């Protein structure tokens, strides 16, 4: 029994691959390396460098490696940029999922864990988001992730398909010093890059209706996230019923100012962040309940804010000159 991990050479995907290995579930990686790195894939894990738009390659990988389930993380992940590249976003995230599901049906693979996103909610008008909170995506990225959830639901009505979708919030940290986040849009890499280059990190907006005036977000450790993917995979393989969607949230938000304070403490680099104007469309607060995932997927916040920052900084320091190339 093996599990195909699309996007398995990326930041989150590589952590999921390691977690599957540690749990005795044989992972197989598919990645086109558009944002991932071959060095993130362990040498003893089969790696197929191809696009999820290549159905023959996907079917060949599933057949050759006797794949019994898929964890689908591949996709175009930049919500803000997706507004400028809607066709690319829909091709990668919607058409790519369609092709993947076609390959699964053709090869008899009947289990899938789908990487969804908090972007499906848009700007919620509640303090604590649950799975019942209405979805109102505000970008092609968020819309494409919601369509992915619908695709799984609709295919499962017509064919044997066990599935669940995991909505991520702000994924940070590192579970291993040789794995790190290289996104040009995520807060931790942006701050670390600024510090490494001698620039002052920036906060976008200091006048929000929050305790310290900066945006409040839901930060979760990537290793905790990966663990719940493994639990979901095991339960689907065993035929256990899961909810169609789970929020992987902390239930307790952290402000951007608190993140900056933690980074200053961990790195030992003194800085006073520059506070600029708000970015259009940034909600004051997005925090999610993880109660359903806690009940079904052994979801827990095993790392506090200090551990999140310290693990991310350690991996960034080890990468050194190799980051992010």
pLDDT at 272: 95
Q: What is the pLDDT of residues 38-60, one digit of tens each?
A: 999 999 999 999 999 999 999 99
Residue 325 above 70 pLDDT? no
pLDDT band at 203 (very low <50, low <70, confident <90, very high): very high
pLDDT band at 86 (very low <50, low <70, confident <90, very high): very high
Q: pTM for this structure?
A: 0.95
Averaged pLDDT, 296-304: 96
Residues 140 and 57 in one domain: yes
Residues 14 and 125 in one domain: yes
Query: Does 311 map to a domain?
Result: yes
Domain CATH for 48: 3.40.50.720
Residues 304 and 280 in one domain: yes
Provide the 8-state DSSP code for 32.
Answer: -
Taking all residues of the chain, what is their mean pLDDT, rounded to a whole number?
Answer: 94
Residues 149 and 211 in one domain: no
Query: Which of 278 and 62 is assigned the larger pLDDT?
Result: 62
Give strand pairing partners of 70: 4, 112
Query: Does 294 map to a domain?
Result: no
The percent of residues above 70 in pLDDT, for the chain, comes to 98
Written as six digits, the tokens of 322 are 């190799």
Averaged pLDDT, 109-117: 97
Active site residues: 141
pLDDT at 235: 98
Averaged pLDDT, 103-120: 97
Residues 46 and 140 in one domain: yes
Residues 231 and 192 in one domain: no
Residue 154 above 90 pLDDT? yes
The percent of residues above 90 in pLDDT, for the chain, comes to 88
For 208-249, the three-class secondary structure string (H helix, E strand, C coil) is: CCCCCCCCEECEEEHHHHHHHHHHHHHHHHCCCCCCCEEEEC
Residue 14 above 80 pLDDT? yes
Provide the 8-state DSSP code for 288.
Answer: B
pLDDT at 279: 81
Query: Does 44 map to a domain?
Result: yes
Residue 229 above 80 pLDDT? yes
Residue 247 above 80 pLDDT? yes
Averaged pLDDT, 161-166: 98
Residues 68 and 156 in one domain: yes
Residues 198 and 242 in one domain: no
pLDDT band at 243 (very low <50, low <70, confident <90, very high): very high
Which of 6-10, 78-82, 203-207 bottoms out in mean pLDDT, i.e. has the lowest? Answer: 78-82
Give strand pairing partners of 170: 219
Query: Does 61 map to a domain?
Result: yes
pLDDT at 322: 64
pLDDT at 32: 97
pLDDT at 66: 97
pLDDT at 181: 93
- Taking the C-alpha atoms of residue 105 and residue 90, their distance in angstroms, rounded to an integer, is 21
Query: Does 295 map to a domain?
Result: no
Query: Does 177 map to a domain?
Result: no
Written as six digits, the tokens of 299 are 């979801």
pLDDT at 152: 98
Residue 324 above 80 pLDDT? no
Query: Does 179 map to a domain?
Result: no
Q: What share of the chain is helix, strand, coil (3-state, %, to 5)?
A: 40, 20, 40
Residues 12 and 109 in one domain: yes
Sign of the alpha-carbon torsion through 314, 317, 318, 323: positive
Beta strands in 149-205 (DSSP E): 162-168, 170-172, 202-204
Residues 137 and 84 in one domain: yes
Domain tally, the chain: 2
pLDDT band at 125 (very low <50, low <70, confident <90, very high): confident
Residues 23 and 85 in one domain: yes
Provide the 8-state DSSP code for 70.
Answer: E
Give strand pairing partners of 129: 288
Q: Residue 127 belongs to what domain range?
A: 2-171+220-248
In degrees, to the nearest 5, what angle opens at C-alpha 98 toward C-alphas 54 and 21? 70
Written as six digits, the tokens of 43 are 């040498």
Contact 185, 204 (CB under 8 A): no
pLDDT band at 206 (very low <50, low <70, confident <90, very high): very high
Residues 278 and 192 in one domain: yes
Query: Does 32 map to a domain?
Result: yes
Q: Which of 185-189, 297-301, 318-322 has the highest mean pLDDT?
A: 297-301
Domain CATH for 314: 3.90.25.10
């Amino acid at each position: 029994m093996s599990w195909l991990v699309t996007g398995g050479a990326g930041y989150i995907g590589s952590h999921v691959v390691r977690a599957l290995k540690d749990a005795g579930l044989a992972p197989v990686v598919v990645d086109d390396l558009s944002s991932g790195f071959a060095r993130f894939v362990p040498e003893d894990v089969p790696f197929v460098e191809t696009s999820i738009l290549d159905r023959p390659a996907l079917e060949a990988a599933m057949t050759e490696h006797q794949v019994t389930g898929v964890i689908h993380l591949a996709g175009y992940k930049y919500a803000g940029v997706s507004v400028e590249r809607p066709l690319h976003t829909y091709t990668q995230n919607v058409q790519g999922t369609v092709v993947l599901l076609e390959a699964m049906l053709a090869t008899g693979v009947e289990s899938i864990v789908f990487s969804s996103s908090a972007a499906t909610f848009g700007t919620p008008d509640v303090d604590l988001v649950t799975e019942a909170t209405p979805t109102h995506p505000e970008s092609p990225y968020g819309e494409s992730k919601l369509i992915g959830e619908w695709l799984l639901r609709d295919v499962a009505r017509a064919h044997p398909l066990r599935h669940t979708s995991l909505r991520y919030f702000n994924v940070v940290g590192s579970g291993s010093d040789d794995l790190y986040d290289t996104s040009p849009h995520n807060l931790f890499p942006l701050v670390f890059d600024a510090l490494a280059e001698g620039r002052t990190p920036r906060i976008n907006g200091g006048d929000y209706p929050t305790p310290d005036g900066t945006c409040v977000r839901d930060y979760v450790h990537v290793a905790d996230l990966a663990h719940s993917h493994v639990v979901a995979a095991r339960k689907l393989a065993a035929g256990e019923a899961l909810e169609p969607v789970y929020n992987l949230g902390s239930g307790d938000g952290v402000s951007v100012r608190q993140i900056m304070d933690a980074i200053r403490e961990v790195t030992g680099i003194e800085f006073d962040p520059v506070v600029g104007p708000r970015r259009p469309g940034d909600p004051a607060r997005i925090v999610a309940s993880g109660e359903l995932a806690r009940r079904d997927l052994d979801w827990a916040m095993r790392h506090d804010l200090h551990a999140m920052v310290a693990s991310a900084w350690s991996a960034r320091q080890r990468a050194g000159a190799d980051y992010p190339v």
